[in-house]
Amino acid sequence: MVNRRTLQTSVSELPGVGIKLEATLNRLGIHRIQDLLFHLPFRYLDRTRLTPIGSLQIGREALIEGIVELSQIRYGRRRQLLCQISDGTGALAIRLFHFSRYQHQSLTRGAFIRCWGSPRRQTGKMEMIHPEYKLIPEERRGATEETLTPVYPTTEGLTQTRLRRLTGMALDILEQDREGPRELLPGELLKTHALPDLLSALKYVHRPPPEAELEQLSEGRHVAQQRLAFEELLAHQLSLKAIRKRFHQVYAPPIRADERSLARFIQDLPFRLTGAQTRVLQDIRHDLCKPTPMLRLIQGDVGSGKTVLAAIAALIICDGGYQAAYMAPTELLAEQHYAIISGLFAGTGFPIIRLTGSMTRKTRKEVLEQIQDPSPAVIIGTHALFQEEVSFGRLGLVIIDEQHRFGVSQRLALLEKGMAANNYPHQMVMTATPIPRTLMMTAFADLDLSVIDELPPGRIPVRTVALSNERRNEIIERIATVCKQGHQAYWVCTLVEESENLQVQAAEETMEFLTDMLPLHRIGLVHGRMKAKDKEKVMRECKTGQLDVLVATTVIEVGVDVPAASLMIIENAERLGLSQLHQLRGRVGRGNQSSHCVLLYQPPLTDTARARLEIMRATNDGFEIANRDMELRGPGEILGLRQTGLPSMRVADLMRDYRLIPSVQAAADYLIESDPDCTRALIHRWLPQQQNYGNV
C-alpha cells in the first residue's frame, strides 16, 4: 500500500488516533504530524542497560529483570499486590496498589519481568512502588532498548508510551516522505554553521543512542537541538521581517505636529523632559510624518517616563484631526492613564474617553457612539477597545502599554482592526522589559526600537536588602517607621505556581498577620480575584493616602504609580525572575523620598539564588540586571521567563540560545534575498498562524 501520509497530514490520520486523542494532542499544540516531531523530550531515561538487583541504589531509577518468586495479595490498610523478584544477585519487592485481575493472574510465580522504577528501602528491603513493567518471553531476556528513552511534556490522558509510539510513527513518515521538503535549510547554510541535517537531528533528539551525552541533551545544548533551535529562530526572524516589509508597503496618514500646540503642551508639563525623552520624541515625530505606519517599540526602564511620551504622541495625532487609542493591560492601569492624560490634556479641549469591560450597558453604548464619531479624541481602555463592536471614527494611532501582555498576533490584529479604507493607524508599543538590545531586536524584529536610557533627575535609588523569612518579624518595625513619616508600604505575596487562588490565600494570611502586628495602621488588600471596581477602590485609597500598607498579589506588578510609597516587601523573592523583581521594586522610589525594598527569601539559598539576590541589591539598572541574570542563569533557573515578554517558542529559548542570534540574522537576510520559497516554507512550518500577516 502506498503511504500517503506526509508531515503536513493531520495527526488524526495516524493509526490509533481517534477524536478524543486528537483533541488531547491539539491541547499540546500538536495538529499536524510534523508537530509531533517538534514536540521534543525534556529528559531521557537510560533503559539500554540492565542493573543487577544486587547493585541497585536507593532513589536512582533503573532497569532490572528478574523472575517472580512469590506473588500475593495483601489486605492491610490498603489492598495491594506484592511480588518478590529475584535475578540471582539480589531480591526486590514490587508493590502495586492498583491492579487488574489480569495483572494478578499474569504476575505469578515463575513469570519473567522487566521493570523500570526508582528503588526505595522499606523495613530493610528494597522495593519499587508501581514501576513500569513488562512480561518478557524467554527469548527476549536481556534484550534492552537500543536507544535512550525520551520523556515528553504531556497532559492528562496521554501516556508516555502512547507519545513514544506516535513520535516513532512520525519519524518513520519523515524518513519516507519524499514529497514534503523535509530539509528546508540550504546545504551551504548547514555547512557554514556546522549543523546536522533535519532528519539526523530529529532522530537524535527523539531516540538518542546509548552513548549520548545526557547532560548536554537535558540542557538543550546538543548540536542536534541547536540545529532545531536555529531553524525555529530563523523562521521567527523571517516572519517578523516579512511582516515589517508588508507594513512598509501600506498607507498610514502622515501627521505633522502642530508646533505651537506642541510647544505649549510641553511648556505646561509639571517637569522638563529628559534628554532621552526628547530624543525618543524626535523618533516618534519622524515616524508620524511618513505615509507608512509607525511601528515603534519604546523601551524604557520602570519610571523612565513613558506615559508622558504617549500623551504627547496622542496630542500630535489629535491636532492632526485623528483619534488616538491607548490600551493598557489592566483596568487599574487604564484608570490611572485616564486620570493622568485627563490632567495633561486639560488645556487642549480634546475629549478623553474611557472604555473598559466593567461599564454598564448604557454607558457602554454611549461611549461606543462617541468613539464612532470621527472627531479627534483620546480613547483609553483595556482589551475592550478592540472588541468586535467597537468601531473607530478616525483612528490615527494605537498606543499599547506594557506590551509583554500581548503577543505578535494580537498586535497585528489590532492594526487590521484599526484599518479603515486602506488607512492603517500608526502603532507605538511601550515596554519596560529590560532585555538587551540584541535580544530585543530579535524578539521584535518587526518593530523599530527607541530606548529611553535615562531616568528623570532627582530619583533616589531604592536601597535593597535580602532577608530570611525567619526574620520577617523585624520588618514590622520598619513598616511602622515608614508610616510614621507619612509614607506607605507594599507587601507583595508571590508564588511561583501562579495559581491565583494560592496567591490570594497567601495574601489573606499576610493581611491577617499584619493586622495583628500593626493594629493601629490602615491595611488594604488587593488581589486578582477581586472585582475590578473593588480593586480600583482599594488602589484609589492607596493613592490618596487613606491606607498605610497595601497587601497585594502580583496584580500590582505593572505600572501602578503611587509616589508616596517608600517600602516594598516581596515574598519568595528567590523564586522570581529578576525582571519581575525589578518591575515590582519599581513601584517604590517614584517620589522624592528615599525608599527601601526587602526581598524575603526562604532559606537555604542555592549559590545561584544568592548571586541573583546580590545583583538586585547591587544595582537598580534594569538593563544591567537583565544582562547579569542572563550570564548567571542556568537552564534550570528559567522561572520568571514568562514575564520577560519574549515570544514563546517550541524548541528555541531566546535566553538559552542567544548565542545563535548573529548567525540566525545573517541567515535570515541571506534567505530573504536568495530563496523566497525556502522563506515561505520555513514560516509555514513553524508559524502557520502568522503567514497571513507575512504575505511574502
Q: Which does 132 bind (CB under 5 to 8 A by kind): ligand ADP, Mg ion, none?
A: none
Q: Which does 456 bind (CB under 5 to 8 A by kind): Mg ion, ligand ADP, none?
A: ligand ADP
Q: Which amino acid is at 59?
A: G
CB-facing half-sphere around the CA of 19: CA atoms within 13 A = 0
Pairs from 188-197 (Cβ < 8 Å, separation ≥ 24) = 189/667, 189/670, 190/227, 192/663, 193/230, 193/663, 193/667, 194/223, 195/223, 195/226, 195/227, 195/230, 196/223, 196/224, 196/227
Q: Which does 320 bind (CB under 5 to 8 A by kind): Mg ion, ligand ADP, none?
A: none
- Grid coordinates given for 343: 490632567
DSSP-derived pairing of the beta strands 323-327 and 395-401? parallel
Q: Which does 274 bind (CB under 5 to 8 A by kind): Mg ion, ligand ADP, none?
A: ligand ADP
Q: Which does 304 bind (CB under 5 to 8 A by kind): ligand ADP, Mg ion, none?
A: ligand ADP
How many residues of this chain interact with Mg ion, rule: CB under 5 A?
A: 1
In the chain, the N- to C-terminal Cα span, in Å, equals 38
DSSP element (H, E) containing 381 = strand 377-381
Given the C-alpha cell 494611532, which residue does it identify? 397
User: Measured from the CB of residue 272, what is the shortest distance to Mg ion in angstroms?
Assistant: 19
Q: Closer to Mg ion at the Cβ: 381 or 559?
A: 559
Q: Closer to ligand ADP at the Cβ: 241 or 590?
A: 590
CB-facing half-sphere around the CA of 331: CA atoms within 13 A = 17
Cis peptide before 425 (omega within 30 of 0): no
Q: Closer to Mg ion at the Cβ: 293 or 559?
A: 559
- 41 near Mg ion, judged by CB under 5 A: no
Cβ-Cβ contacts under 8 Å for 662 (sequence gap 6 or more):
none
Q: Closer to ligand ADP at the Cβ: 300 or 694?
A: 300
DSSP-derived pairing of the beta strands 463-468 and 596-601? parallel
Q: Which residue is nearest to ligand ADP (CB)?
A: 305
Q: Which residue is nearest to Mg ion (CB)?
A: 559
> Scanning residues 535 to 574, which ones bind Mg ion (CB under 5 A)?
559
Q: Which does 305 bind (CB under 5 to 8 A by kind): ligand ADP, Mg ion, none?
A: ligand ADP
Q: Closer to Mg ion at the Cβ: 343 or 486?
A: 343
Q: Which does 41 bind (CB under 5 to 8 A by kind): Mg ion, ligand ADP, none?
A: none
Q: Closer to ligand ADP at the Cβ: 83 or 325?
A: 325
**Binding residues vs ligand ADP (CB under 6 A):** 271-274, 277, 300, 302-308, 432, 456, 559, 561, 590
Residue 454 · residue 279 · CB < 8 Å: no
Residue 422 · residue 251 · CB < 8 Å: yes
Q: What are the start-end ranges of the H helices in 157-295?
A: 160-176, 187-192, 198-206, 214-218, 223-247, 259-268, 275-288
Q: Closer to Mg ion at the Cβ: 185 or 560?
A: 560
Q: Which does 308 bind (CB under 5 to 8 A by kind): Mg ion, ligand ADP, none?
A: ligand ADP
User: Measured from the CB of residue 558, what is the shortest distance to ligand ADP in angstroms?
Assistant: 9
User: Measured from the CB of residue 541, what is the shortest distance to ligand ADP in angstroms?
Assistant: 19
User: Measured from the CB of residue 375, what is the shortest distance to ligand ADP in angstroms?
Assistant: 27
User: Measured from the CB of residue 522, what is the shortest distance to ligand ADP in angstroms?
Assistant: 23
Sites of contact with Mg ion (CB under 5 A): 559
